[in-house]
Amino acid sequence: MSISTICCIGAGYVGGPTMSVIAQKNPSIKVIVVDMNQARIDAWNSEDLDKLPIFEPGLDAVVAEARGRNLFFSTDVEGAIHEADMIFISVNTPTKTYGAGKGMAADLQYVELCARQIAKIATSDKIVVEKSTLPVKTAEAIKDILENTGTGVNFEILSNPEFLAEGTAVQDLEAPDRVLIGGDQTESGLKAIEALVNIYATWVPKNQIITTNLWSSELSKLTANAFLAQRVSSINALTELCESTGANIDDVAKAIGTDSRIGPKFLKASVGFGGSCFQKDILNLVYICKSLGLDEAANYWEQVIIMNNHQRSRFAQQIVTSLYGTVAGKKIGFLGWAFKKDTNDTRESAAIYIADKLIEEQAHIQVYDPKVTAVQMHSDLNGLNSRTETENSQFLDIHNNPYTALEGAHALAVITEWDEFKTYDWQKIYDGMLKPAFIFDGRNILDQAALETIGFTYKAIGR
């Protein structure tokens, strides 16, 4: 079965970059990315490539090559569904904020809406691909909706979870460790799997394309994120012990990471992991385990989140304690607001929680981030609903220059590991700060010895 037109519902952090790379590598396939958010689609269509809705290194070049040739961004969801042979569902699946499973289960309303839209519009056979991260067994619900249309249209459902990380999305898509495709092990299911394998095989070696049944594929995605987050929580769980014993967490990480069975990645101690997925997917896993009565498994994975929350709040507490027990009226500079470097995404960023806790203590936060907008930072803080918008705005100042953000500050906290922070004129920053000038390096990226020579009081996580 060969595919001539692909539609992707959801032009977000996954749909946009993934489809751009698929279109770039498959110039003979028409790829239409649709979204109901007009502003997002307008931004994807922007002439000025700096105005794409998400910042990812290298993405502008991929979009420039494919857009208008075989890559299209549109709000005409129904038209694209009608035209496509293969439809990716790449919509958001956030943690539920209401009803049963509130605060834990994945909210599948957007996914179900897509399935219903496809059921309503389709007049020819379609392969429907789950790109969103979904609880194991979701394909059953999608199938149920699609198989009861009464139109005689045949649907094959595939699961093709995405493993890209933000900040390295293009690199991850161009050279993935693996591509995972799950589908029914029937004749038509296997044909659908093959059709999707052929699309990826234009640039991914076939031995890196893993095929499984639907349920293994759905569960592997949640499991991969749970394992990655668990490594971060595991290393973070040792930082306090390092601080009280004189061990250095970076040394420990290096020493254990050189064991080939452990490996060096995801062992960097931090203020805590953020991002839209780790917490959401683990909570979802915990919820599924609890629903099945698997309490020990649920408690095991929940501990990863508990440790992460602890790491964020203890970082904020360390700032308060070091600044003589009070930060009321004090200025604290934040370097970084994004949840990691090289992205403008702030979802679940530790910055939001640390700022919230310090504002609770009446500190004034002055932030500089190279890519995050002021509107986004205010909206993140207001989203916690701890205070009114007016109250928050009195405590949060956003700067577009790091030097002014740190001017007159009692302390600065490195929240995101942006490379540019290492290149600053630290003497100039020191001169502009109140003394003693504290640095709380939540990412352990700065040169401790050089900063202490200047006169800073430097505190890193796990040292």
Which residues carry out catalysis?
A: 277
Q: Are 214 and 196 in contact, with CB atoms under 8 Å apart?
A: no
Q: Which residues contact residue 439 at a Cβ distance below 8 angstroms, ignoring those fewer than 6 apart?
A: 411, 412, 413, 414, 446, 451, 456, 457, 458, 459
Among 7, 11, 59, 282, binds ligand NAD (CB under 6 A): 11
The DSSP letter of residue 331 is E
Q: Of 84-92, 96-104, 374-382, 445-453, which part binds ligand NAD (CB under 6 A)? A: 84-92
Q: Are 414 and 445 in contact, with CB atoms under 8 Å apart?
A: yes
Q: Which does 15 bind (CB under 5 to 8 A by kind): ligand NAD, ligand UGA, none?
A: ligand NAD
Q: Which does 267 bind (CB under 5 to 8 A by kind): ligand NAD, ligand UGA, none?
A: ligand UGA
340 binds ligand UGA (CB under 6 A): yes
H or E segment to which residue 413 belongs: strand 411-414
Distances (CA, A) of 23 to 259, 266, 281: 39, 31, 28
163 binds ligand UGA (CB under 6 A): yes
Q: What part of residues 251-290 is at the interface with ligand UGA (CB under 6 A)? A: 266-268, 270, 273-275, 277-278
Among 35, 107, 302, 417, binds ligand NAD (CB under 6 A): 35
Shortest reach from residue 444's CB to ligand NAD, in Å: 24
Q: Which amino acid is at 126?
A: K
Among 19, 122, 195, 277, binds ligand NAD (CB under 6 A): 277
Name the pairing type of β-strands 155-159 and 179-183.
antiparallel
* For helices 109-121 and 138-146, angle between their N-to-C axes, nearest 10 degrees: 30
* For helices 374-383 and 350-360, angle between their N-to-C axes, nearest 10 degrees: 70
Among 104, 164, 209, 320, binds ligand NAD (CB under 6 A): 164
Among 93, 349, 392, 416, binds ligand NAD (CB under 6 A): 93
Query: Please, what is the Cα angle at 371 between 370 and 376, to 5 degrees?
Result: 120
Q: Are 115 and 199 in contact, with CB atoms under 8 Å apart?
A: no
Using the minimum distance from each CB to ligand UGA, give the nearer residue, 23 or 173. Answer: 173
Sequence length of the chain is: 463
Using the minimum distance from each CB to ligand NAD, give the nearer residue, 276 or 366. Answer: 276
Q: How many chain residues interact with ligand UGA (CB under 6 A)?
A: 20
342 binds ligand NAD (CB under 6 A): no
Alpha carbons 101 and 83: distance in angstroms, whole number: 37
Q: Point out which residues bind ligand NAD (CB under 6 A).
A: 9-15, 34-37, 40, 77, 90-93, 110, 113-114, 132-133, 162, 164, 166, 276-277
Q: Point out which residues bind ligand UGA (CB under 6 A).
A: 133, 162-166, 225, 228, 232, 266-268, 270, 273-275, 277-278, 339-340
